[in-house]
Amino acid sequence: MVEQGLIRAAQSGDRDALITLLRDIEQHVYKTAYYILNNEQDALDAAQEALIRIYTKINSYEEKAQFKTWVQRIVTNICIDKFRRTKPTVSIDEHEMIFEGRQDVEHEVMLTYVSQDVQEAISQLPEHHRTVIVLRYLQELSYNEIADCLDLPLNTVKSYLFRARQQLQNLLQEYQKGGVT
């Protein structure tokens, strides 16, 4: 994700290194926040809060854990706190679909529906299941990294993932039968 030299330079007070570091992780932080909170504005707020916390706490990072795990823990904790403070809302934002000349329009439309169905199903999961799904499949963290990030036993992470996959399968059952919701 990020070079250790850049992290060390940021920790030693190099402002340019710190800014570069924050820019390198900005999209990663936002993506995690968006998939956990399922709301663009909340995700932007959480990502900004996470980046500020990383900025102010960079010196507390120790190389005992991977940097991406440390960042994920910060983002996830902020999202969980935000999720607990407010009731989840359903975003009614409409997203434009942009098609380029030679692409198969029907295929693009179907991919958009699949993506929306999966995102909707993920948003219906309980908070702890949604979080492990996002960290595992969207951020591609290992089971051990998720356990470190969430401060959970490895077997609990495996159990949450197993149950979350079962719930997603049930939620997406109509789609799997060929119908689009």
Position 93 confidence tier, pLDDT thresholds 50, 70, 90: very low
Position 16 confidence tier, pLDDT thresholds 50, 70, 90: very high
**Inter-residue contact 125 to 133 (CB < 8 Å):** yes
Determine the residue type at 105: V
Structure confidence at residue 112 (pLDDT): 53
d(CA 174, CA 151): 35
Determine the residue type at 30: Y
**Inter-residue contact 151 to 163 (CB < 8 Å):** no
Half-sphere exposure (CA, 13 Å, Cβ side) for 18?
15
- Note the helical H segments in 40-142: 40-57, 67-85, 105-124, 127-133
The residue with greater pLDDT, 99 or 113, is: 113
Tokens of 180: 């689009």
d(CA 107, CA 122): 22
Position 74 confidence tier, pLDDT thresholds 50, 70, 90: very high
**Inter-residue contact 72 to 150 (CB < 8 Å):** no
Structure confidence at residue 17 (pLDDT): 92
Taking only the tens place, the pLDDT of each residue in 145-175 is: 899 888 899 999 999 999 999 998 888 886 5
Position 63 confidence tier, pLDDT thresholds 50, 70, 90: confident
